[in-house]
Amino acid sequence: MNLFSLIKGHATFAHGGVHPLEHKEETAGLAIRRLPFAPKLVVPLSQHKGAPAKPIVKVGEEVVRGEPIAESDGHVSVPMHAPATGRVVAIDLWTTAEGPKAPAIVIDVYDAASQQILYEEEVDIMRQAPDEIVRLVKDAGLVGLGGAAFPSHVKMLPPAGKMIHTLIVNGCECEPYLTCDHRVMLEHTDALIRGIRIAMRATGARRALIGVEDNKMDAVRTISERLPENDTIEVKAVEAKYPQGAEKMLIESLLGQQIPEGGLPVDLGVAVYNVGTLAQMGELLPRGRGLIERVVTVSGAGVARPGNYLVPIGTPLGFLLKAAGVDAEANKVILGGPMMGMTVASLDVPITKGVSGVVANAVGNSDQDERRVYPCIKCSRCVEACPMRLNPSMLAQLAKKREYECMESDFHLNQCFECGCCAYVCPSNIPLTQYFRIAKAINRERPALAS
Ligand code: SF4
Ligand code: SF4
């Protein structure tokens, strides 16, 4: 155990951040439990950043739990696997959390099937060459389970001239209500450590630092106890402060370095992975399996049976809510946490690889509440709260005047990662993050509009 890191801990990023009420006590002490299979599972072909996967099954075909059902379409893309044994009944457009419908494979689950995973092949993973591990990570359909859903294998391949020397492992889980990563660290510790060693071998990283917020010291202790003395993997407690789990913030907290504007962690020789992703890596790769389920926190004032559920990918939100005792009509439901999550309009939306939580009736970001908006009183609280040292008040004024280009060129709009701290502290309830999200979307379209 590395006692030094336990004592030293509690590092944090230098500027901004907020301390919203955590609301984690309801679920943090509850062990992960398996959700039964819904009668119908919906597997969207685009659950990740990058190109959608291409179906390799046809309507009417029987599929076995764990079997690949869609292949990746390019480097930044991952395959999909059948989350249950059943029959493909449609490959069609389906409602997504983001709004527009998108192609998905719909599977009618066989009632009588044992749902045993037969589609697997044992691999002596630590004996594989790094590029072979990268291929296996891609084949497993692994993406960032912290919410970003960026294909995991892509981060293992630094661009020419760059190298990865440090793996940063994100166990912060700074969003209120969410505790799925906390439970994974406690219950799947060996798989997590195995996953870290696999990722280190694939990337060539010489050391790994696991950052865990200091409201989860039981996880810090549990992981530390499983690590040998002077190991290349080290656990460090960091201050519980939102958005500690943002990769830019965590890198600053653990390494004291800031990613240059417009840069990536790899520019500092770093790759960042969420604990849930690495635990899945440690679980799936040695067995040659694909990603077909994930842990999802269901919490909030409107939940009768809160907890951390092991949910088959593609489970309709309505099915999960019913199992957790949520009256979806009476409660506002957010996918993700209340600070960065999104309100969902339909219960048909499936749980995808990037969904870490479902919160019903959260108390949190003013963006999520329908509160009355008042004029800006120039109090500068948003400036003090912004971890990226931006001026949200000024950005909002420009957004109102539709000066979107100026927001980007003169006020670093693209440095905003929509953490919601500014909107959270604003006494005038100005939906600042929404303004910035819209402004960025308009700027992204601009070259297309001009051409
Ligand atoms: S949402 Fe953007 S502007 Fe607001 S605090 Fe976060 S990074 Fe700063
Ligand atoms: S916190 Fe709200 S009211 Fe205060 S300066 Fe920022 S935008 Fe204006």
Write out pLDDT tens, residues 385-419.
999 999 999 999 999 999 999 999 999 999 999 99
The verdict on 87 and 197 lying in the same domain is no
Question: Is 60 exceeded by the pLDDT of residue 3?
Answer: no
Last residue of a domain, one of 263, 287, 311: 287
Cα 381-384-385 angle, rounded to 5 deg:
85
- The residue whose CB lies within 8 Å of the most ligand 2 atoms, and thus the one to mutate among 372, 382, 384, 425, is 382
DSSP-assigned letter for residue 91 = E
Residues with CB under 6 A from ligand 2: 376-382, 392-393, 396, 425-428, 430
Would the pLDDT of 439 be above 80? yes
Rounded to an integer, what distance in angstroms lies between the CA atom of residue 380 and that of residue 393?
Answer: 7
Residue 447, pLDDT score: 65
Question: Could you tell me if 255 and 323 lie in one domain?
Answer: no
Domain end (from 287, 310, 344)? 287
- Looking at the domain assignment, is residue 249 inside a domain? yes
* Of the candidates 56, 280, 298, the residue with the CA atom closest to the CA atom of residue 188: 280
The pairing of beta strand 333-335 with beta strand 342-343: antiparallel
Q: Ligand 2: distance of its center to the CA of 399 in Å?
A: 14
Based on the domain organization, do 131 and 166 belong to the same domain?
Answer: yes
Residue 24, judged by CB atoms within 10 A of its CB (0-12, 13-18, 19+), counts as: buried
Look at residue 373 and tell me if it is in a domain: no
* Total structural domains within the chain: 3
Q: Which of 430, 432, 433, 436 to mutate to test the pocket of ligand 2 (most atoms within 8 A of CB)?
A: 430
pLDDT at 374 over 60: yes
Domain end marker among 267, 287, 307:
287
From residue 201, how far is each of 74, 75, 77, 206, 207 by CA, in Å? Answer: 23, 20, 22, 9, 10
Quick check: 300 and 306 in contact, CB under 8 A? yes
Which amino acid belongs to residue 169?
V
Q: Would you say residue 369 lies in a domain?
A: no
- The verdict on residue 371 lying in a domain is no
Gap between the Cα atoms of 342 and 272, Å rounded: 24
The Cα–Cα gap between 254 and 172 comes to 12
> Same domain, yes or no, for 272 and 343?
no
Which atom of ligand 1 sits closest to the CA of residue 418?
1
Closest CA to 75 of 51, 95, 39: 51
Instruction: Looking at the structure, tell me whether residues 152 and 6 fall in a common domain.
Output: yes
CB 108 within 8 A of CB 39: yes
Q: What is the pTM of this model?
A: 0.93
Q: Lowest mean pLDDT: which of 1-15, 35-49, 173-187, 259-273? A: 1-15
CATH classification at residue 223: 3.40.50.11540
Pocket test for ligand 1, best of 241, 376, 388 (most atoms within 8 A of CB): 388
Whether the CB of 439 sits within 6 Å of ligand 1 = no
Ligand 1 binding pocket mutation candidate from 417, 424, 430, 435 (most atoms within 8 A of CB): 417
Domain extent, residue 390, equals 381-450
What is the whole-number distance in angstroms between the Cα of residue 386 and the centre of ligand 2? 12
Answer whether residue 374 is part of any domain: no
The residue length of the chain stands at 451
Q: What percent of the chain has pLDDT over 90?
A: 84
The token pair that represents 160 in the structure block: 């020419």
Could you check whether the bond before residue 243 is cis, i.e. omega within 30 degrees of 0? yes
Judge whether 370 lies within some domain: no
**320 and 333, same structural domain?**
yes
Is 222 among the domain residues? yes
Query: 400 and 355: one domain?
Result: no
The residue-averaged pLDDT of 319-337 equals: 89
pLDDT confidence bin for 5, thresholds 50/70/90: very low
Based on the domain organization, do 319 and 243 belong to the same domain?
no
Closest CA to 297 of 180, 175, 147, 174: 180
Instruction: Give how far the C-alpha of residue 72 lies from the chain's centroid of Cα atoms, to the nearest Å.
Output: 20
| Residue of higher predicted confidence among 296 and 10 | 296
Is 409 part of a structural domain of the chain?
Answer: yes
* Distances 76 to 48, 52, 137, 162 between C-alpha atoms, Å: 9, 9, 12, 19
Cβ atoms of 73 and 349 closer than 8 Å: no
Q: What mean pLDDT value characterizes the chain?
A: 93
Same domain, 259 and 345: no
Q: Rounded distance, CA 326 to CA 81, Å?
A: 29
pLDDT tens per residue across span 117-170:
888 889 999 999 999 999 999 999 999 999 889 999 999 999 999 999 999 999
- Take atom 4 of ligand 1 and give the residue whose Cα is closest: 422
The reply to whether 231 and 275 lie within a common domain is yes
Same domain, 312 and 421: no
Backbone phi and psi for residue 80, each to the nearest 5 degrees, phi listed first = -120, 150
The HSE-up count of residue 263 (CA atoms within 13 Å, CB side) is 15
Atom of ligand 2 nearest to the CA of 381: 1
* Residue tagged 């995808």 (tokens): 352
The pLDDT confidence band at residue 370, using thresholds 50, 70 and 90, is: low
Q: How far apart are CA 451 and CA 444, in angstroms?
A: 13
**CB distance 383 to ligand 1 below 6 Å:** no
CA torsion through residues 331, 332, 334, 339, sign? negative
Nearest ligand to the CA of 395 is: 1
Do residue 134 and residue 247 come from a single domain?
yes
In the block, which residue shows the tokens 């901004």?
Answer: 16
142 in Cβ contact with 312 (< 8 Å): no
pLDDT in tens, 198-247: 999 999 999 999 999 999 999 999 999 999 999 999 999 999 999 999 99
